[in-house]
Amino acid sequence: MYKILIAEDEKIERKAIKFYLNEFYSKEFEIVAEIANGKEAVKKALENDVDLVLMDIKMPKMDGLEAAKKIKEKNEEIEIIILTAHSEFDYAKKSIEIGVIDYLVKPYLEDDFCRVIDKSLAKIKEKEINKSREKNLVNKVKETLPFLEKEIILEVVYNTKASLVNFEEHKKLLGIEAAEHQFLLLSAKPREKLSDTFFYKAKKIVKKHFKGTISYNGLNDIIFLIIADNLEDDAEQKKMDIIINELKKNYNEKYNSRLYLKKSRVIKDIKNLNQIYNKTRSHLFESELQIDSYPYQREKNIFAKIIDKDQNAAETEFAEVYQYLIEEENCDISSIRSYLRRFVIFLNRRIMEYYNREEPLFNLEKTENEIAAISDLENLKLYVENLINKIILNISHTHKEQKVEVIEKVKQYIQDNYCHDITLEMVAEHIAFSKYYLSKLFKEVEGINYKDYLIKVRMEKAKELLKDGVKIKVVAQKVGYSNRNYFSRSFKKYTGISPGKYK
């Protein structure tokens, strides 16, 4: 129940207010205090942390407007309704400027009283929902943040079709508004994944200087994508040098291997993110084979097409790699088989990493043995092409199941909250998705948009209530409509007949 305080110096007026509250709102409000002066009203409202105050304008010790102002200064969440006589009407309107939600003119008519209390009650409930939603969102963002950052980094690394669109959407979700970007890559010898302990320490060091940082520990590297304004300024680059020195010192104190670090140039056009990442990574080990060599980049391209679920493009990329191998290895099937075995290991590892899979998508040992048993180049090529197609089909099926699972969560949220004012933005925040992506996903899975689905849920519930003999005004409120007339118009549009005739 919500807590309400009555501040009115006339006993007969307090009695009238209590009658209406007990008659219509006994399940919603608990009267925690009845006060006869403004000074005491301020004290008791704050002490009891009330949700709503009914405040008379003219009271001893402190008038109602002054009392309302002091309450709002201390706790702006408390809603206040001003009680006024006709002669004080203009005075009451001024109260709106200090944050008072509404006013009631004496003597109180039942309809007017209920209209104003309903308005206040709706606002109190909305704030309660928003608080809960914000708390859930914070928790969900904390839970999903590592996965979201990983997705951003890997989409950039593999240059997937959706990477640029998703990048901007994900930046908004993370609350990052800056427009300049810079990579900082860390790796060690021998080539293996750096420890998560060092990664978390490194992340803390980088975020101390640059709050808008996205990071991921994988692909045998730690990848930081720093997003900030004025990154080219000397002061910002000095911060980068401080970070690099601090990371080296921290690593050398605890590990025996050598840490390699490389920062990229500053990137203003996000279309260049993948290109600059590849260039930076190729210079991470200056003395070694450049990783932007033909097969490596083509392998990445094939994987990107698999992620995009683009079968034809993946086959085209693989065909070019295969032709390159035939020419490079002079049709030596043994060498080509050896490369392809390494290639399927690469695919398996990357898929497991990208999709957080604990089990491989295909039987690696069986696949390697089958490759080893093929004795001609044409069938070898067909085998790997078929393998790529099977992987894409498997990913597509899994991805579709994941989409349905997300939308089922949305539908359940609607079922639980259709009686409230729930917008697409609220639902998107509840499941930690962007509004844009959720809108597209909902239409894709359900065949209708979010708004139409919400109307459908509400109207089907309204039909049940009307058949049970529930009054139209009550039905409207129970299915999320504060205005009876608007509900009636919506109901007729949905069913073809008015609520009255439907009953």
Q: In what helix (H) or strand (E) does residue 89 lie, and over which residues does it extend?
A: helix 89-95
Whether residues 6 and 84 fall in one domain: yes
The low-confidence residues of the chain, meaning pLDDT below 70, are: 86-97, 133-144, 161-163, 173, 190-193, 219, 285-296, 356, 358, 399, 402, 432-434, 437, 503
Q: Is residue 146 part of a domain?
A: no
Q: Is residue 123 part of a domain?
A: no
Whether residues 412 and 393 fall in one domain: no
Token representation of residue 376: 């001609």
> Pick from 364, 380, 397: which residue ends a domain?
397
- The count of domains in the chain is 4
pTM above 0.95, yes or no: no
266: CB partners within 8 A, 6+ apart: 180, 181, 182, 231, 232
Quick: pLDDT tens for 436-494.
768 888 888 888 999 999 999 999 999 999 988 888 989 998 999 888 888 999 999 99
SS3 267: strand
Q: Is residue 184 part of a domain?
A: yes
Return the pLDDT at 152: 83
Q: How far is the CA of 363 from the CAs of 188, 309, 391, 424, in angstroms?
A: 30, 20, 11, 42
Return the pLDDT at 31: 94
Return the pLDDT at 226: 94
User: What residues does 105 pair with on adjacent strands?
Assistant: 84
172: CB partners within 8 A, 6+ apart: 434
> Pick from 65, 82, 108: which residue ends a domain?
108
**Which residue, among 214, 228, 227, has the nearest Cα to 147 in the 3D structure?**
214
**Which residue, among 326, 303, 324, has the nearest Cα to 314 in the 3D structure?**
303
Return the pLDDT at 6: 95
Please say whether the beta carbons of 226 and 181 come within 8 A: yes
Whether residues 274 and 301 fall in one domain: no
CATH of the domain at 246: 3.30.70.270
SS3 annotation, 154-186: HHHHHCCCCHHHHHHHHHHHCCCCCCEEEEEEE
Q: Domain of 442?
A: 403-502
> Pick from 370, 397, 424: which residue ends a domain?
397
Return the pLDDT at 239: 93
Q: Is residue 209 part of a domain?
A: yes
Whether residues 302 and 216 fall in one domain: no
CATH of the domain at 487: 1.10.10.60
Whether residues 248 and 318 fall in one domain: no
User: What residues does 281 pair with on adjacent strands?
Assistant: none
Cα separation, 101 vs 308, whole angstroms: 51
Q: Which residue has the tokens 């969560």?
A: 409
Sheet holding 52-56: strands in order across? Answer: 29-35, 2-7, 52-56, 79-84, 102-105
Token representation of residue 16: 């009238």
Whether residues 210 and 231 fall in one domain: yes
Q: Is residue 98 part of a domain?
A: yes
Q: Is residue 155 part of a domain?
A: no
Whether residues 180 and 281 fall in one domain: yes
Q: Is residue 469 part of a domain?
A: yes
Return the pLDDT at 483: 85
Cα separation, 22 vs 29, whole angstroms: 9
CATH of the domain at 17: 3.40.50.2300
Whether residues 250 and 313 fall in one domain: no
Q: Is residue 231 part of a domain?
A: yes
Return the pLDDT at 89: 57
Q: Which residue has the tokens 């962007």?
A: 434
Whether residues 387 and 417 fall in one domain: no
Whether residues 246 and 306 fall in one domain: no
